[in-house]
């Protein structure tokens, strides 16, 4: 592909983004689409359009995003989202400050040499992208004094990363502390999760065991315990009951609609009681579902009593009247043996993964190592198809493998698009299949909370992306093109791989451009959610609950978004000195991401949990991992091109490890636990402990009738016999 074709492909990407942005401006101004483009504001009772619809212009969303403060983000989407923007801003700062020096110094240094002209075979691009090769280290002669500029640049990028990531860590630590010091009552600050309960002694119940244990340690502040139960059967009944309630609401909505459109009596819906409603007796749907709900409610109440009495398990939630005591308990060693009385911070009620809470200590460890092995095997075996895809999805290889496509792919317009985007699109689609599998693996480790599962899956996805996309594509593409040379001279493999780096930069430049122009264009326009919403509303939704479910946006999806961002920063850092022209594309990716996602955080996404910035240490670790990979890559590359002063780079990886160690020792513990000085801040009101306690009761065990004396009596009886209530 010629340089002009490369520019044409970038222009096409930019055009697509402009079209999608204009579509967003037009579609978001229509009142019928407000629930798709402004759900977060609507759910908070705010007007979708700030200043009114008539005063808006096509760029109003940009002005609103730029003028928003960090506190605005916290108010609308929480601390976790604000921390994500700290990450975006930090990475953007690293690339901008690095780029100012690298672009001004390294591009003239590279472009004024003539190594590419002297030896056209020194690059894997084989005569293509010659103009870009002249702007990279591929154009610098081996052992040239010009390499000093590139070596010093490696130190500059590292220094900028250290300074900005340190400042970000301090800022996020302050954000977390301020949130936890809030005078508002948060249920999770008054509770701890207790796992690995010892076997109950004869004549004692689990509740009596937990109560007596914690009363003896915390006699003045212990409030109550909630011993977990096996809820599998009661959950099934509750889910069935909820299903009938949804069907009743839908049926009543259909009936009301028939009354509005027809006569005042309307037409009462009917259904068949047999298999899938296709056979059996025809009945009045409203009466039928009401009767089913009545029977299922009675069945649920009976099963709740059995569950509370007889199905207690080996874990509990313990509540204290004081959040300092809860913080102290969560970070204290309670038992002599590591597999007894394991006490940790309690997650938010909405985050709890109930089925994981009762998994025993050593079972959790075994599961964890089994998952690590599975992830390792996944990375290894995924590398094979990804390397294969990166090799065959070039136009030249497709012509060889699929000769019948020649008449199509040889057309100028199609050829330009395919050359620019085919390998990148294939890679993006292939990667899209992975996140759900990694979330599943993280969940079966035994992790107790949803936010922790997302952090774990995000880490797995990052390692997968770096090893398979960054390293796999580089090695796969190079080996495919140089296989014969390697067979003839096996010792040439390392130099070939090193010298392929400048040529591979063009692939990653296009990959980054595709991600930010097309990816963020689709993110902003929300075309797919819009189409799905209108189709569901027209053909499937009848009740208000169904309509709300159709437009509800969900959260920002950190499990996939953060690793994708980390992959981009890894790519850009690793090529920043080798091919500095990639830096503007990295800046555009994070700048556009900051702008578009700022709009989405303020108006669209609704957080599904709040972990008060617990994702940040994960982000910082991966930034340091990307920096370390960059430093090792540059050390190897300088060594291969035989620059005498390469050993000057050896201290950098050591310095990065030392910097990471200092950051972890200084900041990390405050993210694992709540500092006592933070927890000791006064509340604006006395906490209602009963409400805090009840917020943790699983939905399937909440009484259907709070005033039901029989059920309340059962609760008190069960309490005396050791239930969780």
- Model pLDDT for residues 397-415, shown as the tens digit of each residue: 555 655 655 666 566 555 5
Give the model's pLDDT for residue 628. Answer: 93
DSSP string, 368-418: HHHHHHHHHHHHHHHHHHHHHHHHHSSHHHHHHH-GGGHHHHTSHHHHHHH
Give the model's pLDDT for residue 397. Answer: 57
Distance of alpha carbon 369 from alpha carbon 366, whole angstroms: 5
CA torsion angle 533 535 539 545 (round to 10): 0
- 280: helix, strand or coil: coil
The answer, yes or no, to whether residue 117 has pLDDT greater than 70, is no
Nearest of 527, 528, 628 to residue 573 by alpha carbon: 628
- 492: helix, strand or coil: helix
- Residue 716 binned pLDDT confidence (cut-offs 50, 70, 90): very low
* 423-459: b (≥16 Cβ within 10 Å) or e: bbbebbebbeebbeebbebbbbbbbbbbbbbbbbbbb
CB 56 within 8 A of CB 547: no
- 582: helix, strand or coil: helix
pTM: 0.86
Average pLDDT of span 420-443: 74
Supply 551's token pair: 């437009």
The answer, yes or no, to whether residue 719 has pLDDT greater than 50, is no
Give the model's pLDDT for residue 220. Answer: 92
Give the model's pLDDT for residue 425. Answer: 63
- Residue 714 binned pLDDT confidence (cut-offs 50, 70, 90): very low
- Model pLDDT for residues 552-594, shown as the tens digit of each residue: 998 988 988 898 899 889 989 988 888 888 899 899 999 999 9
Low-confidence winner among 4-8, 163-167, 300-304, 650-654 (lowest mean pLDDT): 4-8
Distance of alpha carbon 537 from alpha carbon 210, whole angstroms: 50
- Burial bucket for residue 713 (CB in 10 Å: 0-12, 13-18, 19+): exposed
Give the model's pLDDT for residue 708. Answer: 46
- Residue 223 binned pLDDT confidence (cut-offs 50, 70, 90): very high
Identify the residue with better confidence: 352 or 120.
352
- Residue 627 binned pLDDT confidence (cut-offs 50, 70, 90): very high
**HEC string of 5-30?**
HHHHHHHHHHHHHHHHHHHHHHHHCC
Low-confidence winner among 165-174, 373-382, 505-514, 584-593 (lowest mean pLDDT): 505-514
Identify the residue with better confidence: 653 or 382.
653
CB 515 within 8 A of CB 592: no
Distance of alpha carbon 222 from alpha carbon 353, whole angstroms: 24
- 352: helix, strand or coil: strand
The answer, yes or no, to whether residue 512 has pLDDT greater than 50, is yes
Q: Mean pLDDT in the chain?
A: 82
Distance of alpha carbon 618 from alpha carbon 625, whole angstroms: 10
Give the model's pLDDT for residue 281. Answer: 81
The answer, yes or no, to whether residue 118 has pLDDT greater than 80, is no
Phi-psi region of 554 (alpha: psi -120 to 50; beta: other; left: phi over 0): left
Other Cβ atoms less than 10 A from the Cβ of 378: the count is 17
Low-confidence winner among 198-202, 241-245, 336-340, 590-594 (lowest mean pLDDT): 198-202
- 574: helix, strand or coil: helix
- 52: helix, strand or coil: coil
The answer, yes or no, to whether residue 495 has pLDDT greater than 80, is no
Give the model's pLDDT for residue 713. Answer: 34
Which alpha helices (DSSP H) does 266-392 contain, by range?
A: 285-310, 323-330, 361-392
The answer, yes or no, to whether residue 185 has pLDDT greater than 80, is yes
Low-confidence winner among 69-78, 356-365, 412-421 (lowest mean pLDDT): 412-421
The answer, yes or no, to whether residue 173 has pLDDT greater than 90, is yes
β-sheet bridge partners, residue 73: none
Q: How far is CA 517 from CA 331, 521, 533, 725, in A?
A: 46, 6, 24, 54
Distance of alpha carbon 93 from alpha carbon 587, whole angstroms: 9
Other Cβ atoms less than 10 A from the Cβ of 282: the count is 11
- Residue 385 binned pLDDT confidence (cut-offs 50, 70, 90): low
The answer, yes or no, to whether residue 139 has pLDDT greater than 90, is no
Identify the residue with better confidence: 48 or 235.
235
Average pLDDT of span 238-262: 86
- Model pLDDT for residues 20-58, shown as the tens digit of each residue: 888 998 898 888 899 999 999 999 988 887 655 554 667
Supply 52's token pair: 């009114």
- Model pLDDT for residues 680-694, shown as the tens digit of each residue: 998 888 999 999 999
Average pLDDT of span 124-140: 59
CB 683 within 8 A of CB 185: yes
Other Cβ atoms less than 10 A from the Cβ of 504: the count is 24
Other Cβ atoms less than 10 A from the Cβ of 57: the count is 9
Average pLDDT of span 491-503: 57
Other Cβ atoms less than 10 A from the Cβ of 196: the count is 21
Distance of alpha carbon 601 from alpha carbon 41, whole angstroms: 10
Supply 521's token pair: 């264009």
- 471: helix, strand or coil: helix
Identify the residue with better confidence: 719 or 349.
349
Distance of alpha carbon 587 from alpha carbon 600, whole angstroms: 20
Average pLDDT of span 247-257: 86
| DSSP code for 449 | B
Give the model's pLDDT for residue 127. Answer: 41
- Model pLDDT for residues 449-470, shown as the tens digit of each residue: 999 999 999 989 888 888 877 7
- Residue 521 binned pLDDT confidence (cut-offs 50, 70, 90): confident
Give the model's pLDDT for residue 578. Answer: 87
Distance of alpha carbon 389 from alpha carbon 477, whole angstroms: 9
Q: Which residues contact 474 (CB under 8 A, 6 or more apart)?
A: 497, 500, 501, 504
| DSSP code for 519 | I
Supply 107's token pair: 């591009």
Query: What is the layout of strands, in order, in the sheet containing 312-320?
Result: 222-229, 312-320, 191-195, 342-345
């Amino acid at each position: 592909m010629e340089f002009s074709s490369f520019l044409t492909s970038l222009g096409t990407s930019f055009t697509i983004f402009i079209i999608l942005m204009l579509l967003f401006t037009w579609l978001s101004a229509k009142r019928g689409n407000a629930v798709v483009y402004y759900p977060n504001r609507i759910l908070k009772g705010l007007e979708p359009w700030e200043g009114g619809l008539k005063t808006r212009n096509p760029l109003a969303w940009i002005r609103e995003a730029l003028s928003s403060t960090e506190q605005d983000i916290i108010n609308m989407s929480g601390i976790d989202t604000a921390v994500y923007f700290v990450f975006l801003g930090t990475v953007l700062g690293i690339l901008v400050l690095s780029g100012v020096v690298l672009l001004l110094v390294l591009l003239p240094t590279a472009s004024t040499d003539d190594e590419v002209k002297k030896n056209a075979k020194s690059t894997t691009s084989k005569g293509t992208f010659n103009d870009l090769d002249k702007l990279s280290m591929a154009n610098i002669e081996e052992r040239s004094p010009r390499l000093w500029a590139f070596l010093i640049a490696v130190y500059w990028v590292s220094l900028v990363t250290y300074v900005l990531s340190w400042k970000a860590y301090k800022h996020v630590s302050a954000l977390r502390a301020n949130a936890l010091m809030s005078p508002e009552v948060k249920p999770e600050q008054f509770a701890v999760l207790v796992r690995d309960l010892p076997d109950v002694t004869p004549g004692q119940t689990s509740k009596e065991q937990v109560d007596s244990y914690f009363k003896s340690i915390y006699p003045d502040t212990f409030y109550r315990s909630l011993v977990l139960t096996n809820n599998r059967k009661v959950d099934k009944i509750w889910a069935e009951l909820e299903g009938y309630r949804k069907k009743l609401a839908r049926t009543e909505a259909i009936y009301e609609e028939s009354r509005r459109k027809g006569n005042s009596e309307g037409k009462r819906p009917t259904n068949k009681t047999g298999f899938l409603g296709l056979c059996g007796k025809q009945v009045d749907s409203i009466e039928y579902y009401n009767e089913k709900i009545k029977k299922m409610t009675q069945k649920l109440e009976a099963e709740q009593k059995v569950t509370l009495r007889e199905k207690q398990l080996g874990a509990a939630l313990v509540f204290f009247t004081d959040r300092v005591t809860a913080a102290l308990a969560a970070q204290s060693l309670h038992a002599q043996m590591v597999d007894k009385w394991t006490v940790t911070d309690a997650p938010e009620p909405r985050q709890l993964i109930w089925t994981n809470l009762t998994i025993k200590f050593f079972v959790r460890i075994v599961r964890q190592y089994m998952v690590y092995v599975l992830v390792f095997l996944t990375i290894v075996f995924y590398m094979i198809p990804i390397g294969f895809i990166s090799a065959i999805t070039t136009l030249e290889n497709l012509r060889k493998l699929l000769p019948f496509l020649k008449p199509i792919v040889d057309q100028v317009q199609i050829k330009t698009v395919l050359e620019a985007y085919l390998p990148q699109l294939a890679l993006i689609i292939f990667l899209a299949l992975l996140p759900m599998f990694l979330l599943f693996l993280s969940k079966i480790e035994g992790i107790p909370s949803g936010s922790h599962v997302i952090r774990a899956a995000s880490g797995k996805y990052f390692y997968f992306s770096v090893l398979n996309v960054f390293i796999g594509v580089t090695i796969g593409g190079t080996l495919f093109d140089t296989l014969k040379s390697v067979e003839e001279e096996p010792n040439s493999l390392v130099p070939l791989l090193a010298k392929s780096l400048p040529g591979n930069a063009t692939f990653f430049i296009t990959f980054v451009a595709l991600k930010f122009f097309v990816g963020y264009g689709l993110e902003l326009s929300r075309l797919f959610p819009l189409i799905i919403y209108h189709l569901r509303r027209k053909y499937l939704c009848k009740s208000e609950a169904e309509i709300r479910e159709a437009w509800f946006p969900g959260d920002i999806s950190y499990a996939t978004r953060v690793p994708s961002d980390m992959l981009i920063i890894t790519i850009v850092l690793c090529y920043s000195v080798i091919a500095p022209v990639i830096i503007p594309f990295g800046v555009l990716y994070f700048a556009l991401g900051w702008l578009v996602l700022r709009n989405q955080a303020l108006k669209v996404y609704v957080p599904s949990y709040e972990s008060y910035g617990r994702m940040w240490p994960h982000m910082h670790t991966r930034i340091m991992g990307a920096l370390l990979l960059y430093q090792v890559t540059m050390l190897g590359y300088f060594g291969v091109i035989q620059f005498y002063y390469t050993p000057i780079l050896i201290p950098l990886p050591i310095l990065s490890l030392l910097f990471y160690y200092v950051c972890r020792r200084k900041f990390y513990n405050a993210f694992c636990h709540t500092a006592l000085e933070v927890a000791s801040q006064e509340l604006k009101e006395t906490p209602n402990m009963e409400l805090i306690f009840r917020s943790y009761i699983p939905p399937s065990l909440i009484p259907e009738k709070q005033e039901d004396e029989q059920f309340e009596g059962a609760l008190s009886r069960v309490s005396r016999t050791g239930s969780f209530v």
